[in-house]
A and B are shown apart, each in its own frame.
Chain A
Amino acid sequence: MRILFSSPVQCGILNLMNFKSILSQLNIFTQCKRYGLPLWQCPHFLFLVMGLIIAITALISYAIATRYVADPQLVALMVMIITAILFIIAVIITRSFERLTEANRMKSEFVSVVSHQLRSPLSNLRWAIELLMSGRLGKIEEKQTEYFKILKENSARMGELVSDLLIVSRIETAKLPLKKQEFSLEDLINNLIKEFEPFAKASNVEIKFEPEKNLPKVFSDPSQLRLVIENLLDNAIRYVREKGQVEIKLKKRDKDLYFEIKDTGVGIPREDQKYIFQKFFRSENILRYQTQGSGLGLYISKAIVERSGGKIGFKSEEGKGSTFWFTIPIK
């Protein structure tokens, strides 16, 4: 579509808009905020610092050259040429970074759109299976029930994966706002343990929860912290082999609440530990026991805890188990 501006007023407006957009491009703070980078890591800011250093160096070189060198103009020319080359390289680097950021943003949006599109047919599938399994539409034979269970479990798995992908895309496009409110983390954990009890029982895992007495409420997003604890609890139970125990602790530490979950599972090999919070990473030893899992849970948990102002970490020994912990500010 081509838009023609005939009147001088329209042209004037257009020029003003261009001028405004150029000005906004020059606003380094806005640019860096758009990329979600701190100033000292932002190419636009570093580019400006570099430019200043080059300009100062050029001036100093010129000053020294006029004092000590016979042909100062030649030195000045050389400095200017080098400065120009450096400037061009810096522009190329900044442009490449912008393209990379744009590609990353488009990828996140693509994931978001695809996940959204997948959600509707998945809901239809899940509910249709549920209706069939309920026996409301007629009695189901035992042999058929087995297959309906397979359909149900696999559609639930797909649903979880799609939900995880949506959360990741929201984290990456900064569209996962925190809806903070005051709530009891202890109650949240108790509720989750109740929900996980059947899974724990089926996996021969005993869950122990030892909260400190008189813990204060926290001011945070309960639904997002629920996701974090769900992920940690699910991992702790899932990766226990044969029989085991999961111990959860909740304590007050200065201005934070400290959550800890210790399992007697397969543990994480030392060489894999540095990748554990990366997206889609699944440890080699885990893949031997468990094919399920997207490798997104810990990435999501870390992002949520850090956005909530807390810290997350772990210690683990292969064959003995893992202890994951996180902190959440009380206020």
Chain B
Amino acid sequence: MKKVLFIEDESALQKTFGDILKQEGYEMISALDGETGTRLAKAQKPDLILLDLILPRVNGFEVLKKLKGDKETKDIPVIVLTNLEGIGDVEKAIELGATTYLVKAQYSLEEVVQKIKQALGE
């Protein structure tokens, strides 16, 4: 079973994605902050990471930098899933190594699930 790590501080979203990804046949690991996310990525080696950018303590860009700077986690694809849409945010995330940048407000849940499947090569 493929593992998806979801680094997101909104527990409501954790629940929604937990349910839908389980139905799609994936295992979801939750991290409610950046620090835990980075730690879990190293320990559990997920197949994909879903990453929010606005996170308590360590923000998503920092997490992305750490993940891509560590040889143990650098090859794990990262989908940024956020509502942050400021000048240069997309470019910065892609430059840091994100595979895809999705603005929550612009996608339906089903579309996000499709992007997850694509990133997992399914």
Question: Which residues of A does B touch, CB under 8 Å?
Answer: 116, 119-120, 122-124, 126-128, 130-131, 134, 136-137, 159, 162-163, 166, 175, 177
Does B87 lie within 8 Å of A175, measured CB to CB? yes
CB atoms of A123 and B104 under 8 A apart: yes
With both chains docked as a complex, state the minimum distance between the C-beta of B82 and any C-beta of chain A, in angstroms: 9
Q: Which stretch of B8-16, B32-40, B62-70, B71-79 is in the interface?
A: B8-16
B5-29 CB mask vs A (1 if < 8 Å, else 0) is: 0000010110010011001000000
Determine if B19 and A123 form an interchain contact, defined as CB atoms under 8 angstroms apart.
Answer: no
**Total A-B residue pairs with C-beta atoms closer than 8 Å?**
45
Partner of A123, one of B83, B85, B86: B83
Residues A122 and B109 in contact, CB atoms below 8 Å apart: no
Binding site for A on B (CB under 8 A): 10, 12-13, 16, 19-20, 23, 83, 85-87, 104-105, 108-110, 112
Does more than half of chain A's interface fall in helix, strand or loop, or is it mixed?
Answer: helix
A134 pairs with B110, CB closer than 8 A: yes
The answer to whether B105 touches A123, judged by C-beta atoms less than 8 angstroms apart, is: yes
Instruction: With both chains docked as a complex, state the minimum distance between the C-beta of B54 and any C-beta of chain A, in angstroms.
Output: 8
A119-B105, A130-B108 known; A124-B83 Cβ under 8 A: no
Q: B109 touching A116 by the CB < 8 A rule?
A: no
Q: Give the distance to chain A from B86, nearest Cβ to Cβ, in Å.
A: 7
- CB-based nearest B residue for A136: B23
Contact A123 B20 (CB under 8 A): no
Query: A120 — which chain B residues lie within 8 A by C-beta?
Result: 10, 83, 104
Which 3 residue pairs are nearest across A and B when measured between Cβ atoms? Answer: A123-B104, A124-B12, A119-B83
Contact B104 A131 (CB under 8 A): no
* A123, A130, A131, A134 pick with most chain B CB within 10 angstroms: A123
In the complex with contacts A116-B83, A119-B104, A130-B110 CB distance below 8 A: yes
User: Are A136 and B19 neighbours in the complex by a CB distance under 8 Å?
Assistant: yes
Report Cα–Cα, A126/B106, bound state, in Å.
11
With A120-B10, A136-B23, A175-B86 given, is the CB distance from A131 to B109 under 8 Å? yes
Contacts of A124 in B (CB 8 A): 10, 12-13, 16
State how many angstroms separate the Cβ of B35 from the closest Cβ of chain A.
Answer: 20
Q: Contact between B83 and A130 (Cβ–Cβ < 8 Å)?
A: no
Smallest beta-carbon distance B8→chain A, Å:
10
Report whether A127 and B16 are in contact in the complex, using a CB–CB cutoff of 8 Å. yes
What are 30 sample pairs from A and B whose C-beta atoms fall under 8 A apart? A116-B83, A119-B104, A119-B105, A120-B10, A122-B105, A123-B13, A123-B83, A123-B104, A124-B13, A124-B16, A126-B108, A126-B109, A127-B13, A127-B108, A127-B109, A130-B108, A130-B110, A131-B19, A131-B109, A134-B109, A134-B110, A136-B19, A136-B20, A136-B23, A137-B19, A159-B105, A162-B105, A166-B85, A175-B87, A177-B87
- A177 — nearest CB in chain B belongs to which residue? B87
CB nearest neighbor in B for A116:
B83
- Contact partners of B20 in chain A: CB under 8 A: 131, 136
> In the complex, which residue of chain B has the Cβ closest to the Cβ of A125?
B12
Having A119-B104, A175-B87, one finds 14 other A-B pairs with CB under 8 Å, namely: A119-B105, A123-B13, A123-B104, A123-B105, A124-B13, A126-B108, A126-B109, A127-B109, A127-B112, A128-B16, A131-B16, A131-B19, A136-B20, A136-B23
Task: Give Cα A284 to B91, complex, Å.
Answer: 43
Closest residue of chain B to A159, judged by CB? B105
Inter-chain contacts of B105 with A (CB < 8 A) = 119, 122-123, 159, 162-163
- Complex contacts, B87 vs chain A, CB 8 Å: 175, 177
- Shortest beta-carbon distance, A178 to chain B, in Å? 11
- Nearest Cβ distance between residue B21 and chain A, in whole angstroms? 11
Q: A163 contacts which chain B residues (CB < 8 A)? A: 105
Q: Which residues of B contact A134 (CB under 8 A)?
A: 109-110
How far is B10's CA from A134's CA once the two chains are assembled, in angstroms? 22
Closest chain-A Cβ to B65's Cβ sits at a distance in Å of 23
Q: Output the least CB separation between A198 and chain B (Å).
A: 15
**Measured between C-beta atoms, what is the minimum distance from A176 to chain B in Å?**
9
Q: How many whole Å from B24's CB to the nearest CB in chain A?
A: 9
Set of chain A residues within 8 Å of B83, measured between Cβ atoms: 116, 119-120, 123
Give chain A residues whose Cβ lies under 8 Å from the Cβ of B19: 131, 136-137
A residues near B16, Cβ cutoff 8 Å: 124, 127-128, 131
